[in-house]
Chain A
Amino acid sequence: MKSQGWRPGWDGHLLLFYDEESQRRAGVAAWVGRGLELGAKILYTQPPDDLPDRTLPALLRGEPDALEAMERGQIQVVPADPSTYDPDFIATVVDGALSEGYPSVRWSGDASTAWGVIPRERHEYVEQATDELCTSRPLSVLCQYPVLESRHAIGFLSRSHGGGLREQQFQAAPIEGGLAVAGELDVTNQATLRSLLTTATTAPGRDPFVLDLSWVDFLDLPGARALLFGTLDYRSGGGRVRLEAPQPHVAQLIHLLGIDRAEGIQLGEVR
Chain B
Amino acid sequence: MKTSSQTHSAYRHGLLVHDTDEELVEGTRAFVARGLASGGDVLVHGTRDRVALMRDAVGSHPRLGYGFDEELYQAPMRTLFAYQRTLAERSEPGQLWVTGTVPLGLGAAQQAAWHRYESAVDEALGAYPFAALCTYDTRDRPASVIAAALATHRTVNVDLTDRDNPRYVEPAAFLGAPLAQRPEAPAAPPSTAAVIHGFDQLSAARDLVKADAYRHSAVSPQTIEQLRVAVSEVTANGLLHGRAPVRVSLWTEVGSLTCLVEDSGPGHPDPMAGYRHPDGASSMGLWVARQMVDDLEIGSSPSGGCSVLLTVTDQPL
Query: Which of A's residues lie within 8 Å of B, judged by CB?
Result: 169, 184, 186-188, 218-221, 225, 247-249, 252-253, 256-257
Of the candidates A188, A221, A249, which one forms a contact with B199 in the assembled complex, judged by CB atoms under 8 Å apart?
Answer: A188
Distance from A218 Cβ to chain B, minimum over Cβ atoms (Å)? 7
Contact in complex: B288, A188 (CB < 8 Å):
no
Contact in complex: B202, A221 (CB < 8 Å):
no
Stretch at the interface among B59-67, B224-232, B265-273: B224-232
Within 8 A of A (CB), among B206-244: 206, 222, 225-226, 228-229, 232-233, 236
- Chain A residues near B281: list those with CB within 8 A: 225
Within 8 A of A (CB), among B265-289: 281, 284-285, 288
Q: List 16 A-B contacts (CB under 8 A).
A: A184-B203, A186-B203, A187-B236, A218-B206, A218-B225, A218-B228, A220-B236, A221-B284, A221-B285, A248-B225, A249-B226, A252-B226, A252-B292, A253-B288, A256-B288, A257-B284
7 further contact pairs, Cβ within 8 A, besides A220-B236, A249-B225: A169-B203, A218-B225, A248-B222, A249-B229, A253-B229, A256-B291, A257-B288
Of the candidates B226, B232, B288, which one forms a contact with A186 in the assembled complex, judged by CB atoms under 8 Å apart?
Answer: B232
Bound CA–CA A187/B202 (angstroms): 9
Instruction: Determine if B71 is an interface residue (Cβ-Cβ < 8 Å).
Output: no
Contact in complex: B200, A218 (CB < 8 Å):
no
Contact in complex: B226, A221 (CB < 8 Å):
no
Which 3 pairs of residues, A with B, have the shortest CB-CB distance?
A: A249-B225, A220-B232, A188-B199
Query: Which of B's residues lie within 8 Å of A, judged by CB?
Result: 199-200, 202-203, 206, 222, 225-226, 228-229, 232-233, 236, 281, 284-285, 288, 291-292
Bound CA–CA A188/B206 (angstroms): 13
Bound CA–CA A220/B281 (angstroms): 13
Distance from A182 Cβ to chain B, minimum over Cβ atoms (Å)? 14
Bound CA–CA A249/B199 (angstroms): 22
- Chain B residues near A247: list those with CB within 8 A: 225
Distance from B203 Cβ to chain A, minimum over Cβ atoms (Å)? 6
CB contact under 8 A between A188 and B226, given known A220-B233, A256-B291: no
- Chain A residues near B236: list those with CB within 8 A: 187, 220
- Chain A residues near B233: list those with CB within 8 A: 220-221
Contact in complex: B222, A221 (CB < 8 Å):
no
Bound CA–CA A257/B226 (angstroms): 14
CB contact under 8 A between A188 and B202, given known A218-B229, A248-B222, A249-B226: yes
Distance from B291 Cβ to chain A, minimum over Cβ atoms (Å)? 6
The residue of chain A having its C-beta at the shortest distance from the C-beta of B281 within the complex is A225
The residue of chain A having its C-beta at the shortest distance from the C-beta of B278 within the complex is A257
- Chain B residues near A220: list those with CB within 8 A: 229, 232-233, 236
Contact in complex: A187, B288 (CB < 8 Å):
no
Bound CA–CA A247/B222 (angstroms): 10
Which of A221, A252, A253, A257 gathers most chain B CB within 10 Å?
Answer: A221
- Chain B residues near A219: list those with CB within 8 A: 229
Distance from B258 Cβ to chain A, minimum over Cβ atoms (Å)? 19
Bound CA–CA A243/B312 (angstroms): 28
Bound CA–CA A169/B207 (angstroms): 12
- Chain B residues near A186: list those with CB within 8 A: 202-203, 232
- Chain B residues near A252: list those with CB within 8 A: 226, 292
Distance from B220 Cβ to chain A, minimum over Cβ atoms (Å)? 11
Distance from A249 Cβ to chain B, minimum over Cβ atoms (Å)? 4
- Chain A residues near B284: list those with CB within 8 A: 221, 257
- Chain A residues near B229: list those with CB within 8 A: 218-220, 249, 253
Distance from B84 Cβ to chain A, minimum over Cβ atoms (Å)? 11
Bound CA–CA A221/B285 (angstroms): 7
